Structure 1
C-alpha cells in the first residue's frame, strides 16, 4: 500500500462495527475513519465520551468528531473503502438513501455474516444486483473472530476474501495489528456462505444444549455440520479448490458453536429451554443472524435439492413451530 491516506467508512454501530473501529484505531497505517451511527443520541454519546453506550462500552474509540455521521450516505460518499457492518436484516434500511453512483469506484467490504431477507442473497450478490458493484470490488471479512475478544485484545484471526487480491491485501493491511492476524482468500462465495451457515449450526447447537444434550452429542453435531456446509457451498459455487477445514469455515463454525460470546448459540439455547422465537428476540440485545439465515437457506436447499438435515431441523423449529425435543430426536437418527 502507498503512503496516501485511506478514508474508511464504517456503516453500522453494533458490537462488530465497534470492534472494527477499535481494530482500525490500533492499526499503524495512515487512514481516516468515518463512522455512521444510526441513533442520534448514540452519536452524541460517542462524540462526548469516546465510547459506544450500547456495545463494547468499555472500548475507547479513536474517531474524530467531524467524522461521526447520522447519514449513511455521507459516510459512503466520503470514503475510499466502505465497510458494511449492520445486521443483514437492517442493511436495506441503512442504504435506503444511497445510490449506485455513491459506491462507484470504491472498494466495498462486507463484514455482515448473513443473507438479505426476502432477496435470499448474500451481501456481495445483493450489492452487485441492486448497486451494480462489480464483484471484483467486493471484499468479504470472515472469522473466526468474536467482537468481545477483539475488545480485550485477545489474539484473533480474520479471513479477508476477494476476487482481486490487491483489494484483499489492502483491507487486510488496514485491519491487521498487534492482536489481529489476517488470512487472505480468493473464495469470496465460500467464505460468505460459510459465515451464513455456521450461524444456523451454532443455533442448532444451542437448541441441543438447551434441551440437555451434552458435549459428546454437540461434537457429533458439529462434525456433521461441517460436512453439510461443504455440500451446500460446493453446490452453490462448484469447481473451487477450497479446504473446508480452514479457519474461515471450520474455525468460524467451532467458535460460533461453542463460545460463550456466540449470540446464535445463546438464541438457540433459549429456544431449547422453551422460549418462543419472539420472547427470545425480545430478551436478546443483539441480532442472531442464524434466525434470518434459516429461512433463506431453505430456498437454496430446495433450489439445489440438497440433503441438509441440520438446517432443516432448525427451520422446522423456528418457522413451523415444531417441538424442539422431537425434532432433535429425529435429527439424532440421521447423524453419523
Structure 2
C-alpha cells in the first residue's frame, strides 16, 4: 500500500489528496491550522478549499504534526506556496527525508534565493536528484474536484519514479504520464504563472483576445529562450506539460495568477489584490525570481520585464503595456 505525506492545505493539496486516497493510498495530510484539521476530522471536508470534496478518513489522516506525517510515509508531496516551503520544511531534521521519494506540486521558486523547489530540497536534505519529481498540468484543482477529464505529467530524472507516481494518480478522469525533464517542466511551471499574470493585466486594461493570442505566442518564444540559456537540452515545448499548462493558466477562469493580474490591470495595488484574493498567486514572486536570474543570463524577456516593472517598480500598467505591445510580433 502506498503511504504518502501531503504537505499543504490549499486547493491543489486537496485535489491531489482526493485523487490519491480514492485510488487506495494512505495519505497523512499535514495542515498548518489546528482548526482546519479538526474540521476535516469532524466533517470530512476541507473548510477553506474545494469544500465540496468529502474524504474517507480511513485513508486520509489530517494532522498538524509534520514530523509524524513525514516519518510514516514513503512519498512526500509538496503542495504549499513556494514562499512558505522553507518555514515548513526547515523544522525537519536533515535526515528526515532519507529513503523517501519526493514530488513537488509547487509552481514557484524559493523567493530571494531564486532556486527551484527541487534544488532547495536536494540541497537541504542531502538527497540525490533521482529521488525528486514534479507534477505538471494542464490541470486546475477545481476541475479535479468536479471530476472533469484532466491530464498530468510527472517529470523527473528517474522514469521509474515518475511512472510509479503517475500510476498512483490515474483514474477514470485523470490520465498521467512520466517524462524525464525535471528542470524544463519546473521552470515552465514557474514561468507560465508570469505569463498568466500579464495576460490578466492586459485583460484588466481592456485588451482583447487578439492581443492575448499574440502575448501567449510571444511568451512561448520567451520561455524557449530562457530555458535554452539556463537548461540547454532538447525539449518540445508544444507538449501538454509545457504549452498546455501555459494555455490553461493564461486563459482559465480558475487561474489565480490571471485573476491577480486582472485586478492589477483594473487599478488594484499588489497588497489590496492579495488581500481580496486571500490566496497566493505564485506569479507575483516568480516575476522577481526570473527577472533577477536573467540579470546574469541577459535573455530577451520583454513580458517578464514588463511584469516586473509593474509589480515591483510601480510603473503604470497602462504605460508598461503600451511599451510592451511595440515589442511583440
| TM-score, length of structure 1 as denominator length | 0.96
* 1:111 aligned onto 2:91: no
Structure 1: unaligned runs, 5 residues or longer: none
**Superposition deviation, residue 252 in structure 1:** 0.5
Residues 47 and 65, structure 1, Cα contact 8 Å, conserved in 2: no
1:99 alignment partner in structure 2: 93
Runs of 4+ residues over 4 Å off in structure 1:
none
In 2, Cα distance between equivalents of 1:15 and 1:208: 26
**Superposition deviation, residue 241 in structure 1:** 2.0
Residues 256 and 264, structure 1, Cα contact 8 Å, conserved in 2: yes
2:157 alignment partner in structure 1: 163
- CA deviation digits over 1:21-54, x for unaligned, max 9? 1111232xx5311100110000000000000000
1:332 alignment partner in structure 2: 325
* 1:301 aligned onto 2:294: yes
Residues 211 and 273, structure 1, Cα contact 8 Å, conserved in 2: yes
Distance 1:210 1:103, change over 3 A: same
1:20 alignment partner in structure 2: 16
SS at match of 1:275: coil
**Superposition deviation, residue 317 in structure 1:** 0.2
Equivalent of 2:143 in 138, 149, 164: 149
Residues 100 and 133, structure 1, Cα contact 8 Å, conserved in 2: no
Structure 2: unaligned runs, 5 residues or longer: none
**Superposition deviation, residue 62 in structure 1:** 2.5
- CA deviation digits over 1:256-295, x for unaligned, max 9? 0000000000000000000000000000021100000011
1:249 alignment partner in structure 2: 242
- CA deviation digits over 1:132-172, x for unaligned, max 9? 12100001001110000000000000110010111001111
Q: 1:282-301 residue pairs with structure 2 within 5 A?
A: 282-301=275-294
1:88 alignment partner in structure 2: 82
1:57 alignment partner in structure 2: 51
Q: How many residues align?
A: 329
1:263 alignment partner in structure 2: 256
Residues 310 and 320, structure 2, Cα contact 8 Å, conserved in 1: yes
* 1:32 aligned onto 2:26: yes
SS at match of 2:95: helix
1:124 alignment partner in structure 2: 118
More displaced, 164-173 or 93-102?
A: 93-102
Q: 1:62-81 residue pairs with structure 2 within 5 A?
A: 62-64=56-58, 67-81=61-75
1:137 alignment partner in structure 2: 131
| TM-score, length of structure 2 as denominator length | 0.98
Equivalent of 1:229 in 223, 246, 251: 223
In 1, Cα distance between equivalents of 2:292 and 2:313: 15
